[in-house]
Each structure stands twice: as structure tokens, then as C-alpha cells.
Copies of this chain bind each other. A is one copy, B any other.
Amino acid sequence: MLAIWEREKVPVGHILIEENAEAERIGFVLDGLLAMVKTLPDGRRHIIGLLTPADLFGRAFNGKSGYRIEALTDAELLTCPRTPFEELLTRSPEAERLFLLNVLDELDAAREWVMVLGSGKVVQRVASLLLILCRHKVQGAIAPRAPINLHIQLKRVDIAHLLGTSPESLSRSFKQLERDGIIAINTPYNMDVLDLCELTEAAGNALLIEDFGL
């Protein structure tokens, strides 16, 4: 019954689903970080969204993927071929319900990105990204006023493409947040969020602090 599922490891840079191709496999992210990447004809690439552990990738039922699924870090996956997966959903209403709920969450996440990208200046978008990362980290647990340590697994270029800006502007925004005492940059891939409230303020309140239950 569960024999269709297969555990696999992929290295950084590995392409799981090519752009404009039928997805052959469906899968969950167990560990690591994947990205949905759209390559423009002029060579520029744009990151549409991230896939973190517990997220589902690949598309069932509705045709080709408009973007590439790519591993941003070494990653561990749980995958299965598309057709058996679709049959599973058809046979088991429980599985289909779980899948539906997952897709609804993805929809919320996508709309949240629309919000972030649509409004405001670069600093606000950076702050919003950090807020989302913090939310992932604390996961509902009330964070005290203690600093929140973040491991950024993304290169600056990738973050820039994700936020629709350039690495240079991104760097300046980080520095500004640091000057304002909102974050502390330890290394390019490790920073502490010192004040969640001010960070929310800096995000232009696009993402409400209520999300944290504070």
C-alpha cells in the first residue's frame, strides 16, 4: 500500500521538475529547502515561492508546471509517481481531504506573498520576509522578548529574486534594519531578530503581529 512512496536525497541545485513539463513525481519535503523558479527569456530568474519541510510539491490533475522546482540546499524528500498518487486520491476521500487542506494552505501562502510583493518599499518587504521566517520558527509558541535566531539558507541573490529586488538593495535594507536595532547580522546566513514589534512596524504592518498570538 505504501510501497509507492520512496525516500530520496537530492543535492543542491538539483532540478526536480523542469519548467513547462508534466510533473512525473509528487512529493513532500522532509528536510532542506526547495524553490519554485521561473526563468525569463532574458535569462533572469525569479523565485515565486519556497518549499519548506512538510510542504507538498508537484502538481496533481492540472497539467504542466509553469515553473521549475529546484533544490536550494541539499534536501531529503518523500516522493511517489504522479499517476498512483492521483489514484490514491480518487480511492481515498481521507487522503483527498488532506491534500485539499494542504492546497488551501498553499493558496493562503501565495496570497500572502502577493500582499508582500505588492506593497511598499524594499525594507518593508525584507521585514515581511523575516517576519514569515520568525513565524515558521516559533510555530505558534509565544515568543518572549528574547531574540529569535534565524538560519537563512538562501544566498543573497536568491532572497533578492524572491523579493523582486537586487542583491545590492537587499544588503542596504539589511544594514538599515541593523542600524535601527531591529536585527543583528552575525553572518550573511545567520541573524537575530531583536525586536519583533519594531520588525512588524518596519514591515508596514502588512503582516499583523496578531499572527503570532502576541
Contact flag A104-B104 (CB < 8 Å), given A118-B46, A118-B164? no
Residues of B within 8 A of A96 (CB): 93, 96-97, 100
Q: Please report which residues of chain A, range 57-107, place their CB below 8 angstroms from some CB of chain B when the two chains form the complex.
A: 59-62, 66-67, 90, 93, 96-97, 99-101, 103-107
The one of B44, B99, B110, B119 in contact with A110, judged by C-beta atoms closer than 8 angstroms, is: B110
A: residues with CB less than 8 A from B are 36, 38, 40-42, 44, 46, 48-49, 59-62, 66-67, 90, 93, 96-97, 99-101, 103-108, 110-115, 117-119, 161-164, 204-206
Which of B61, B97, B112 interacts with A66 by CB under 8 Å? Answer: B112
Q: A59-B104, A97-B96, A103-B103 are in contact. Are A111 and B49 (CB under 8 A)?
A: yes
List residues of chain B with CB within 8 A of the CB of A205. 40-42
Q: Of B100, B105, B115, which one neighbours A100 at CB under 8 angstroms?
A: B100
Q: What are the residues of chain B within 8 A of A61 when measuring CB–CB?
A: 100-101, 104
